Amino acid sequence: MPIISFWSDKKKETAQTLSMIALASYMSVENNSRILIVDTNVNDKTIKTAYFNQQESATRKAVMKLNAGKIDIGSGIEGLAKLLASGKNSGEAISDYSQVIFKGRLEVILSLETDRPGDIERIKTAYKDLIKLANQQYDYVFVDLQKGFGDPFIEEILKMSYVVVYNITQRQIDLDDYKKTKENHPMFKENKVLPLIGRYDRYSKFTKKNVARALGEKKEIPAVSYNTLFFENANEGAIGGFFLKFRKSLMSSNDRNIVFVDEVANAVDRLILKTQEVLMTRRD
């Protein structure tokens, strides 16, 4: 099933990871989709912080201190890397190493925790094998991909992806950079890129329609707006509960969070439509 990468070529803050979290959570709750999130960043706690309570026990902290600089012994990707290297590559084993958010719907392979370059390069190979394998087991594989160019690993994942959600901001310089990338990068010629505005401010002059016009896009650009409660929950390990509480069927039209949920729903609809368009043209 489709591999969806969330990515940007600029190493600026675009709310890429939180936008991906919003779409994945909404889809798993509202669309009953089975999704695996794969975090390919290193030592990044954004996803872990969003979904899981970060209070560490004294024992856990002591173990982390003793293993400073080494791979986290509880890392799902490290366990999977060993499994894949052994040739035991059953897709059903992925769930044994993933963290479950919604059983049967949403799981995540958290960021690798290590400072050793050799380990990082070795795990990159495992990520590629994992994503291919997960593509056969889940409705969607969401990849939180490191930003920027220059790394062959990034290029390979972009090439594998059915859709690339390109994260942008409401800044003119970023819109100009996006247009340059669109002119020069081969993946845009495959018509598999979906721009998405993160931390969207609907009071900015760079509205979704104006951004679409500036980028030469025919349709309004989807967005994930800034929402105080969403970002607070993302810092408290409570995003799962947030999307269960604010299901569209349970919300009233005057709820202050309805605009945010509606925008996420629209972004999900656009992503599904883009995925369907790509699937109709792919031959693999």
Comparing 1-15, 35-49, 251-265, 267-281, the range with the smallest average pLDDT is: 1-15
Percent of the chain with pLDDT over 90: 61
Cα of 112 vs its chain's centroid, Å: 15
- Using the predicted structure, report yes or no on whether residue 71 has a pLDDT greater than 50: no
Rounded Cα distance, 173 and 186, in Å: 22
How far from 96 is each of 54, 59, 116, 134, CA to CA, in Å? 21, 24, 25, 13
75 pLDDT band (50/70/90 cuts)? low
Domains of the chain by range and CATH?
A: 3-281 (3.40.50.300)
169 pLDDT band (50/70/90 cuts)? very high
Joined tokens for residue 197:
């505005």
Q: What is the mean pLDDT of the chain?
A: 87
Give the mean model confidence (pLDDT) for residues 147-162: 91
Give the mean model confidence (pLDDT) for residues 272-280: 93
Comparing 46-50, 81-85, 149-153, 234-238, the range with the smallest average pLDDT is: 81-85
Give the mean model confidence (pLDDT) for residues 201-209: 94
Q: What are φ and ψ of residue 24, in 5° steps? A: -65, -45
Rounded Cα distance, 209 and 221, in Å: 7
pLDDT at 102 (0 to 100) = 94
Give the mean model confidence (pLDDT) for residues 170-178: 93
Rounded Cα distance, 194 and 168, in Å: 10
- What pTM, to 2 d.p., does this model score? 0.89
Rounded Cα distance, 62 and 70, in Å: 14
Please count the residues of the chain: 284
- Using the predicted structure, report yes or no on whether residue 119 has a pLDDT greater than 90: no
